[in-house]
Structure 1
Amino acid sequence: MRHHAYVFDAYGTLFDVHAAVRRHADKIGPDGQQLSEIWRAKQLEYSWTRTLMGSYADFWQLTEQSLDFAFLKVPSADKKLRQDLLDAYWRLDCYPEVPVVLKALKADGARLAILSNGSPAMLEAAVKSAALDQVLDDIFSVDIVRRFKTDPSVYDLVTTGWRLYPDAVSFQSSNRWDIAGAAKFGFRTVWINRTNQPDEYRDLAPGLILPSLKGLLTGD
């Protein structure tokens, strides 16, 4: 079923969060995947703890801090690559189907936006690098409310900004916890389960589960 308003999470949904480490895999060595997974896990953990404490720091600061922690946990990785990895994070690869899907939805008359933990500068850089700036109507960053997902005030950025009821919005995310938060808020939710993860948060089920964004066009 097509909708009039589609909102997408950015990191892990449109942009591959592991692309930065993969770009320098030869220099990092055999523990690159571990480094990348720790980097991502801590980035999210810091966002949740900061929100619970009421001590906001923008997502770029958390990205830097979580990479530093990852280097401590993976001593085999060369810390001299720190700046290279951070620079690469500003130009993350988008998933292959993303441009085609977003352009098709836009051509169909849909309104499109990103709703992300990312700072405005991070999101603007990623969107321009992936040449998505021509198809997106808005980029909503948590920086406005200074709280991270899954705080309800984050999802309210869309309904207030677009003057819509929550159930008028189709929200897509690869992060199951994000889908739970969006479902609780009242969005119609689509979990993009790229890596075939088991379901959780059973009381806050997604409206639809797809292996990639292509299913928004094909229904599977």
Structure 2
Amino acid sequence: MMHKVYVFDAYGTLFDVHAAVRKYKDDVGPDADQLSAVWRQKQLEYSWVRSLAGRYRDFWALTEDALDTAFRVVPTAPRGMRERLLDAYRELDAYPEVIDVLTQLRDAGAQVAILSNGNQAMLELAVKAARIGGLLDDILSVDSLKTYKPLPAVYELVTTRFRVFPEAVSFQSSNRWDVAGATAFGFRTVWINRGGAPDEYSDMPPAVTLSSLKGLPTA
């Protein structure tokens, strides 16, 4: 069943958050995967803490802070790589199926958007690098609210922008906690479980679980 609006989380769903470290894996060294994992973990953790504390700091600043922490946790990784890794993060690789899936949804008459913790500037850079700007109706950032997912006010940005009820929206995210928040808000949710992770929120289940975005247009 097609929905009127298809909304995508950006980082981890459309864009590969580990692509920055992978690009320089040999230079980062044998603990590159650990550095990338800690970087992502802390980036998300910092957003949740800022939301709960009511002390907003934009997502790019949190991305920088998280990388600095990752270097301290993984001392084998050379800190001289910091700027190159941040530059690579600005233009992350999109997953290979992204353009085809967004094109299919648009061709079917759906409206397509991003809803992300990223600030507007970093999202626009990522979208431009991935060449998907022409496939999007809008790019919605939490920066306009000065808080982060999974607060309900963030998901409400979608219903306000497109003037629809929550049930008209299909929301896709690779982050299970994000899917839980969107489900609680009333969206139809699709968990893009790329790593085969176990479910953690049985009381806020996704409508569909996929291993990638490939099956979305018919899911």
TM score, norm. by length of structure 2? 0.99
Look up the SS of the partner of 1:200 in the other structure: coil
Residue type of the alignment partner of 2:60: W
5 Å matches for 1:154-169? 154-169=154-169
Compute the displacement of 1:108 (Å).
1.0
Equivalent residue, structure 1, for 2:25: 25
Q: CA-atom RMSD, angstroms?
A: 0.6
Q: C-alpha distance in 1, partners of 2:60/2:124?
A: 13
For structure 1, the 5+ residue unaligned runs are none
Q: C-alpha distance in 2, partners of 1:99/1:90?
A: 19
Look up the SS of the partner of 1:96 in the other structure: coil
Equivalent residue, structure 2, for 1:197: 197
Compute the displacement of 1:157 (Å).
0.3
Equivalent residue, structure 2, for 1:86: 86
Compute the displacement of 1:4 (Å).
1.8
Equivalent residue, structure 2, for 1:36: 36
For structure 2, the 5+ residue unaligned runs are none
Residue type of the alignment partner of 2:202: R
5 Å matches for 1:58-137? 58-137=58-137
TM score, norm. by length of structure 1? 0.98
Cα displacement string for residues 96-152 of structure 1 (whole angstroms, at most 9, x for unaligned residues): 000000011111111000000001001000000000000000000000111100011
Equivalent residue, structure 1, for 2:153: 153
Q: C-alpha distance in 2, partners of 1:68/1:199?
A: 30
Look up the SS of the partner of 2:135 in the other structure: coil
Cα displacement string for residues 63-96 of structure 1 (whole angstroms, at most 9, x for unaligned residues): 0000000000001001000000000001000000
Over 3 Å off, 4+ runs: none
Instruction: Among all aligned residue pairs of Structure 1 and Structure 2, give the percentage whose two residues are the same amino acid.
Output: 63
Equivalent residue, structure 1, for 2:178: 178
Compute the displacement of 1:57 (Å).
0.2
Q: C-alpha distance in 2, partners of 1:202/1:8?
A: 22
Compute the displacement of 1:218 (Å).
4.3
Question: How many positions carry a matched residue from both structures?
Answer: 219
Compute the displacement of 1:217 (Å).
2.7
Residue type of the alignment partner of 2:187: F
Q: C-alpha distance in 1, partners of 2:184/2:41?
A: 23
Residue type of the alignment partner of 2:179: I
